[in-house]
Structures are given as C-alpha cells and as structure tokens.
Chains A and B, each alone.
Chain A
C-alpha cells in the first residue's frame, strides 16, 4: 500500500489528470475581441462562360484587416479567408472561398493586401451575370491546446457585371 510503485502511480495519475483539466479550462478564457476588416473589388479581370457551361470570374481584391485582438497566449495561429456568398435559382446558398492566409503571429495580423483570387470563382451553372453577392472575411483561431473558435464579418453590396468580358 505504501510502496514506491504505488505512490509513483498515484502521483502520475494525479498530475496527468490536473494537466488534462488545465488544458480543457484554457478553452474558457476569452479576451476582448474587436477585429475589423474592409474589402474592395478593384477590378473584374475577366468574366467568361467556360466550355463546360459554368460561369467563371476573376477579381482583384483589396483586403484590409486588423485581427490583432484575436491573439492570446494560447493562440497558435489564426486562419483567415475571404469567401463570396450568393444565391441562385438552383442553390439556396453558394459559398466560394477566394483567398486564405495563415497568420502565425500577432504582428502579422494587421495587414493590407492586393491580390487576385487565389481560388477559382466558378459557379454551378451560368448565373453570375448581374449577380449580387456578399464578401465575408472569416477567421478561425487555432489554439495551442483546447477549443477552436471561428467567426466572420459579412460585407454586402458587391455585384458582378451584366455581361461577360
């Protein structure tokens, strides 16, 4: 009952349990989060109906964001991405990711970037002419340990041209 082995076993079990408990508790600490973002469409590079019948558009985006308030001591990285959201007659919701980035440190979380879409913006069909859509900036905070959480900012009021170009 009082052997070294028994004591070592109890101690180890207790230590591991406490460690697991602490890792779990960490998920409940929240800080004041005030992220902000703005996206501008600088240019419609081209807008075509592809041979397989689906519309595709290429855009140049100007993305400004400040995600520094999302970083805590427990943050390993923040994954940020911009998606276009729109409705069509066939689909009640379409979400197409246009750009993403991994932000490993707080210093890199305040940024301004001008790029054309990293991923192709292709519709299921040819519904994109004169289409109104939202651009959403999502962020996914990935911790060193524990619960991940995600949120987004929705910016509306964007639209595509009437005709292909």
Chain B
C-alpha cells in the first residue's frame, strides 16, 4: 500500500519535472534561434543594425514614424543621394538622413559627408557634435535599401510604454507554462 502510494507520487513528480524541463529547453531554443537569425542578418548586410525603426518625421513623407528600414553596408564609396543611418559620437540614437554633400580626399580616400533630412529646412550641422563640420565613414552604420510601413510601431510602443512590454512577456510566459503541447 505505502509502496504503491510512493510509486504514484514519484511518477507524478517526475512527469512534471520532465515537462517543465522540456518547455524550458524549447523556450531556450526559440530564443537562441532568434539570436542566430539576428546575428546572421548582421553578417549578410554588413552592419550592426540590419533593421531600424524610423523615430522622427524628418524624412517625411517618404518615411513616417513607425516604418521599418532595411539597411546594408558595403565598401562602396559614399555618394550624394544615399540615405544613410549614422550615429553622432556620444549619442545613442541613430539618425536616418540623406547625404547632400561629399568631398573625397584624393590621397587617403577618406570622405567628408554632410547630411540633411528631406523634410528639414536646414542641413544636419546642428545635430553633429560641437565643432564637427562633417560626418566620416566610421559614423555611418548603413544605407537604407528597402522599407516596410507601420511594422515598427510595435517597437515604439514597447519603448515608450514599457508596461505593455511587461504585459506581453507575462502573457507569453503564462502561455508557455500552461500549454500542454
């Protein structure tokens, strides 16, 4: 009698643990696959951020807040007309604007680049660091080659209202735990 109870209790315990472990491993696999895909995209496109979300209206009406831009970086020289994504030293937020001026040094091949948002009245000199007159190649993270409208709103909402992020993660966690598949 005691042996049988002991057996049942043990078997119940072991099922739960096995199921839990399987679910944990599955979750880990999903997260790792997502990471692998992201890193692979970084390799293929040649840039640290293969995808960015448009945050401001300075390139309207072409790019609206909430659009997603696909970026690529190649060794090709930077030329006017290209829409580039750049970061100013000391600032986190990448800016997506168009190149309007290029001066390429004959001897070193280095470039001085000036950018401007299509929808802005003035060029970006005011955005650059104090005393900086030009952007250089190392500031530029990639060129915009394609885009998808509206999809980026998910990221904007999650950044600006973090409570939604926590709700979503909580809901997903709950789904994972309660699903029997």
Residues of A within 8 A of B (CB): 23, 27, 76-77, 79, 81, 83, 89-97, 100, 102, 104, 119, 124, 138, 140, 142-148, 150, 152
Q: A95-B102, A119-B123 are in contact. Are A152 and B81 (CB under 8 A)?
A: yes
Over the window 124-161 of chain B, the binary record of Cβ atoms lying under 8 Å from chain A Cβ atoms (1 yes, 0 no) is 00000000000000000000111111000000000000
Residues of B within 8 Å of A79, CB to CB, are 62, 98, 118
Report if B42 contacts A (CB, 8 A).
no
Q: Mark B85-115, 1 if CB is under 8 A from A, else 0.
A: 0000000000000101111111001001000
| Subset of 27 A-B contacts with CB under 8 Å | A77-B62, A81-B80, A91-B106, A92-B104, A93-B77, A93-B102, A94-B103, A95-B80, A95-B103, A96-B100, A97-B80, A97-B100, A100-B100, A100-B118, A119-B100, A119-B101, A124-B112, A138-B80, A140-B81, A140-B83, A142-B147, A146-B146, A147-B145, A148-B83, A148-B147, A150-B82, A152-B81
| Residues of B contacting A23 in the complex (Cβ-Cβ under 8 angstroms) | 148
Specify which of A92, A138, A145, A146 is in contact with B81 (CB 8 Å cutoff): A138
Range class of the B interface residue count: 20 to 34
By a CB distance below 8 angstroms, the chain B residues around A92 are 104-106, 109
Task: Give the tally of cross-chain contacts (CB within 8 A).
Answer: 78
**Interface positions of B (Cβ within 8 A of A):** 61-62, 77, 79-83, 98, 100-106, 109, 112, 118, 123, 144-149
